[in-house]
């Protein structure tokens, strides 16, 4: 009886450790903030660019999109192989203020790709910066969101 309990505990401990290790092996999302760098990387890797206009500290749908899609393991794994991620953030809180240079860069991108001022706005671009499609926040699964973004290619 003691041997069985001991073996069950060893198996449970092993499963727990493997689970923890598997979470640690998921790559973090590599968000770029420069369109030139994103175009270059997209061209070199034959990938599309996902340009996200967001208000990271004030826009509730932006925060939901970040949490429900961008930060999921499913999306990160797919994006790593298929997309170059480009963030165009417009925070409002003083502690999140961007550099003047980054603010200027973000405003230029917004003038070109988000004249309507929608937040969040997700724009799929080719490696030359041509718009392939646009969407926003949708209450959906990461898999369905991946299908939507991929349909723009």
Number of H helices, E strands in the chain: 6, 5
* Segment 66-97, tens digit of pLDDT: 999 999 999 999 999 999 999 999 999 999 99
In the predicted model, what is the mean pLDDT of the chain? 87
Query: Which CATH superfamily does the domain covering 27-151 fall into?
Result: Glutaredoxin (3.40.30.10)
C-alpha to C-alpha distance for 150 and 98, rounded to whole angstroms: 31
Instruction: Give the pLDDT confidence score for residue 29 in this predicted structure.
Output: 73
Supply the pTM of this predicted model: 0.81
Read off φ and ψ for residue 20, nearest 5 degrees: -60, -45
């Amino acid at each position: 009886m003691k041997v069985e309990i001991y073996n069950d505990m060893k198996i449970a401990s092993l499963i727990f450790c493997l689970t923890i290790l598997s979470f640690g092996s998921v790559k973090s999302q590599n968000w770029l903030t420069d369109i030139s760098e994103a175009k270059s990387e997209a061209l070199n890797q034959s990938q599309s660019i996902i340009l996200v206009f967001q208000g990271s500290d004030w826009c509730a749908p932006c925060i939901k999109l970040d949490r429900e899609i961008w930060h999921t393991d499913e999306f990160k794994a797919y994006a790593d192989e298929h997309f170059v991620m480009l963030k165009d953030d417009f925070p409002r809180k003083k502690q999140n203020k961007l550099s003047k240079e980054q603010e200027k860069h973000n405003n230029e991108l917004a003038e070109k790709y988000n004249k309507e001022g929608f937040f969040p706005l997700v724009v799929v671009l080719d490696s030359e910066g041509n718009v392939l499609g646009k969407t926003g926040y949708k209450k959906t699964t990461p898999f369905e969101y991946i299908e939507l973004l991929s349909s723009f290619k």
